[in-house]
Structure 1
């Protein structure tokens, strides 16, 4: 895979461009993790898939110590507004007057991966600065995260020089082909966004029907599931059983998240239902996100989703086994 081309240069005739900053892969990721709380910000975020599909949203973000608040208003598709308060998420559907309340542990650009003995993200990616560019009016370091194998995609990220905020992200497939691009088209890094203001809006559920599926934190092992062999670099991050209804958790869906620190894969395990599930495996993709859904046992249906190559999802499906 050749290095992704730098699309533009900050230097012009007679000007000397600042030298790119060299950091280790772990240093870059830590900087990007911490960046969202550097300043309150607001901006318009656009996601473009290689197929031409596009989605845009308006984002407001603020922090108060360890408390992180975010509001995302969809500008395309069905009208909806998503609020996040740390791991608590509420999605408002104004047309249906419904609010869905949920919890997501892996928030942010990349999920934080637990420290696992003998495993390091640096084993699976290398990081290299490839220049400086301007995005939404801000100077950004351009960093290429190159995978060492074919089980994961590569990433090219634009990290705003002062705060480290990721202002643009490309997911790269084989030969550096851009599978998906996400970027701020407009950004205010000194926006008058306050945590208490976003919190009030998040709690304003009057007139809405609040739907909150029962969610129980667990582990794959506790639920009787395991991978025969680990998938190189991917470690368990979280696992939850989500009930279809509050009254009956027997038919719930088990969701287990695995990550290598950049890429993540979610496994949704549920009872096979011939009324809902097709006889043949299902494969689809949207941008960089791949989906594989298939029957893995006579009574079990698995849906594997992740921003990874399809072969990685097939590995997960092939290695998953019931232990009891």
Structure 2
């Protein structure tokens, strides 16, 4: 990890623009704002787990509320829509529609921390060179972790709209784990946003970011003693599976870039122990008494192991 950090830092410094007036943190803040408040659409390619998925993408912002829509161009044909934190997926061939509600708003393109300055001890935000992406000039920002508990990533930011044109996530060996790439991006006419709209957006964000208050993790029978610096408890919810009627508790912790889900459920006939991996996603499971615990996320193996082993019963 240290070698990867030095290598990416060298690249960032070697190609940095001396005339650049914004630092990496300021770029990310502007990207966050642009992603939420602009109306834009285009064609985006997702490369993950060795698979390539090309989809039409549209983002709108109206009355302080975000709406995202992904429409697949290849089989299986489907349309995924996010309206604030309400997500639905329509499978066009069967007309089956699956709806869910996520306690926080999460972009289909890239997750960014609301306040990057809080992570200066965990990440280095480096301004690198510029490249052309989808025939648009893009500024490269390297997000480099200062420990071995999270992945490095780079963002290619459209210098005109400040929207992300490309995102890459790197494993600890320096290889690309996943990539999101716009092959075409169109920014629509700017929506007229009033102060009331911005206030509504701020209140909406606060509501969805802190919905976990409805289920206080501190009142649960579990305790999380260890997790990476910079991570925060985002929400805790209790789900009942429809078919099995089994209760599964879900705690999400995140630093804004990376997230780890911790699941608590009753142990089955045979408990699950140890590490499992699928591409950039790692999970670590352990059993405490009659409780099955699994920590899962797009983070290095040592991160999910640290989190899972940090769980105890109150």
SS at match of 1:174: coil
Alignment counterpart, residue 252 of structure 1, candidates 233, 236, 247: 247
1:44 matches 2:37: no
| Residue 111 to residue 236, structure 1, CA distance change in 2 (3 Å) | farther
Shift of 1:180: 1.6
CA–CA separation in structure 2 for the residues paired with 1:103 and 1:159 = 29
Greater helix fraction, Structure 1 or Structure 2: 2
SS at match of 1:63: strand
User: Where do 5+ consecutive residues of structure 1 fail to align?
Assistant: 10-16, 194-214
Note the alpha carbon deviations across 1:198-220, whole angstroms, 9 max, x for none.
xxxxxxxxxxxxxxxxx994132
Alignment counterpart, residue 268 of structure 2, candidates 265, 273, 292: 273
The correspondence of residues 72-91 of structure 1 with structure 2, limited to 5 A, is 72-76=70-74, 78-91=76-89
Shift of 1:247: 10
Note the alpha carbon deviations across 1:102-130, whole angstroms, 9 max, x for none.
11214122265689xxx921110011111
**Counterpart position of 1:3:** 8
1:34 matches 2:33: yes
SS at match of 2:251: strand
Equivalent pair of 1:44/1:185 in contact (CA under 8 Å): yes
> What TM-score, normalized by structure 1, do the two folds share?
0.77
1:283 matches 2:288: no
The correspondence of residues 125-274 of structure 1 with structure 2, limited to 5 A, is 125-174=123-172, 176-190=174-188, 217-245=214-242, 248=245, 251-274=246-269
Aligned residues: CA RMSD:
3.0
CA–CA separation in structure 2 for the residues paired with 1:183 and 1:143 = 15
Equivalent pair of 2:250/2:264 in contact (CA under 8 Å): yes
Note the alpha carbon deviations across 1:240-276, whole angstroms, 9 max, x for none.
222212995xx222221111122111112222223xx
Shift of 1:97: 3.0
> What TM-score, normalized by structure 2, do the two folds share?
0.79
Note the alpha carbon deviations across 1:260-311, whole angstroms, 9 max, x for none.
122111112222223xx6645350222x3x2315232242223322221011
User: Where do 5+ consecutive residues of structure 2 fail to align?
Assistant: 192-211
| Residue 28 to residue 182, structure 1, CA distance change in 2 (3 Å) | same
Equivalent pair of 1:111/1:264 in contact (CA under 8 Å): no
CA–CA separation in structure 1 for the residues paired with 2:138 and 2:285 = 42
**Counterpart position of 1:309:** 300
